[in-house]
Amino acid sequence: MKELLYCDFLWSGINFHPNRFSCCCTPYKGIFVEGNNIKDYLYDFFLSFEKKRTEAIEKMKKSIPIKDCIGCVHLKKYDMDSDETPDYIINNYNKNLINHIQINHFKHCDCGCIYCNQPLYKKTIYSKQSEYYDLLPLIKKLYDKKMVNINHLEVEFQGGSISVLDEFPNIVDFILENGVKSIQYFTNGLVYLPEIEKAIKRTNCLIICSIDSSTPETFLKIKRVNKFYDVINNVKKYQSIIDIYNSESHNSTITLKFILVDGVNDNLKELEGFIKIAENLKVFSCHLDLDYRMIMKDTQSIRYDIPKHYKDLYDFFMTKTREVGIIPWMPEYTKQILDKGYFDV
């Protein structure tokens, strides 16, 4: 029996953060390289990152976890000789190709969500941060050196807000021209982005927009910008393009998110209104999540008890969305916290 430990992102992903590259889908774990001078030595940093990642993979092949990964829900054990081991793991075993690129290396935004989990997001308009680096030259290099697996490549824009990312249009054009399997856009939806429209027309596109509300009043309290109807109209416009361009060769979807914020939107009326909006907009799925900033404060000493009615909100969310033909989703780790009823470290 040949056992190995596997985390898809560690084996085949790269996540760009300010001053840092990592191969973990969470911000501060896994293998990484970092430095204030990363923008001046982009490719050198990348090479040393690659070296560290390869060493970590070699350890995982011997079933030895790296320290940060112990206990992580994404870390799974497989037997390479078993028929049940998925093909993509067997295919990845001897390759270090990149299947996931996550773009998170900028922190400026035109919105001011009260829950935003980036410590620098404190004001409505953010100045550009010094740790920002130009990513497109490195992405071009990865393609030139055939280090990306274009048949499987997923590119995910997080942020900051992509509407204020200077390189955004050029990165989208480049990956559409040179091969990508899907593009995932996290957007606050305040501004209509022609680059999203372009991608809907040409590839598989996932648009994720957190509206967290059902009225302009609640939207303003949470997002701290008075643009509820702009967002609704932009989502409507993306959905109408999707309806025209989805075909057998590609499929794009919109997910609306609702983050439960203590005492602001964590009630049945707001959640019901949100699902109604999703139904009217005919989006594909809805995503419910907890406010991680709230539950993770003072994690060193404090256990955070999830309000008792959250389980009812979750049950309602699952039932109601399905009833109206929308796919409901909640991350596995959030479900585990809800089931347990509290969060601690």
Residues contributing to the site for ligand SAM (CB under 6 A): 109, 115-117, 158-159, 161, 186-188, 208, 210, 257, 259, 289, 291-293
DSSP letter, residue 64: P
* 134 binds, options ligand SF4, ligand SAM, none, Cβ within 5 to 8 A by partner type: none
The token pair at 322 is 């399905």
In angstroms, rounded to a whole number, what is the distance separating the alpha carbons of residues 177 and 272? 41
Q: How far apart are the first and last CA of the chain?
A: 34
CA dihedral 123, 128, 134, 139 (to 10 degrees): 10
Among positions 185-204, residues that touch ligand SF4 (CB under 6 A) are: 188
How many residues appear in the chain? 345
* 259 binds, options ligand SAM, ligand SF4, none, Cβ within 5 to 8 A by partner type: ligand SAM
Cα angle vertex 46, ends 40, 50, to 5°?
165
- 238: three-class secondary structure by DSSP: helix
Among positions 94-123, residues that touch ligand SF4 (CB under 6 A) are: 109, 111-113, 116, 121
Shortest distance, position 80 Cβ to ligand SF4, whole Å: 18
Shortest distance, position 173 Cβ to ligand SF4, whole Å: 23
Shortest distance, position 111 Cβ to ligand SAM, whole Å: 7
In angstroms, rounded to a whole number, what is the distance separating the alpha carbons of residues 87 and 29? 27
Q: According to DSSP H, which parts of 78-193 are helical?
A: 87-92, 136-144, 168-178
Place of tokens 């967002």: 231
Shortest distance, position 70 Cβ to ligand SAM, whole Å: 24
* 257 binds, options ligand SF4, ligand SAM, none, Cβ within 5 to 8 A by partner type: ligand SAM
Interface region with ligand SF4, contact rule CB under 6 A, candidates 37-45, 67-75, 167-175, 293-301: 67-75
Size of the site for ligand SF4 (CB under 6 A): 23
Residue 72 to residues 25, 167, 337: CA-CA distances in angstroms?
11, 33, 14
* 112 binds, options ligand SF4, ligand SAM, none, Cβ within 5 to 8 A by partner type: ligand SF4
Q: Does 9 bind ligand SF4 (CB under 6 A)?
A: yes
Nearer to ligand SF4, 58 or 177 (CB): 58
Q: According to DSSP H, which parts of the chain are helical?
A: 8-12, 42-61, 87-92, 136-144, 168-178, 194-202, 216-223, 228-245, 268-281, 292-295, 309-323, 332-340
| 134 to 173: interface string for ligand SF4, x by CB under 6 A | -------------------------xxx------------
What are residue 78's phi and psi, to 5 degrees?
A: -130, 160
Q: Does 68 bind ligand SF4 (CB under 6 A)?
A: yes
- 229: three-class secondary structure by DSSP: helix
Nearer to ligand SF4, 296 or 318 (CB): 296
Contact 310, 294 (CB under 8 A): no
Shortest distance, position 297 Cβ to ligand SF4, whole Å: 17
Shortest distance, position 204 Cβ to ligand SAM, whole Å: 19
Shortest distance, position 325 Cβ to ligand SF4, whole Å: 28
Interface region with ligand SF4, contact rule CB under 6 A, candidates 64-72, 277-285, 310-318, 334-342: 64-72
Shortest distance, position 178 Cβ to ligand SAM, whole Å: 24
Q: Which residues contact 124 (CB under 8 A, 6 or more apart)?
A: 110, 111, 112, 224, 225
Sites of contact with ligand SF4 (CB under 6 A): 7, 9-10, 24-26, 29-30, 68-69, 72, 74-75, 109, 111-113, 116, 121, 159-161, 188
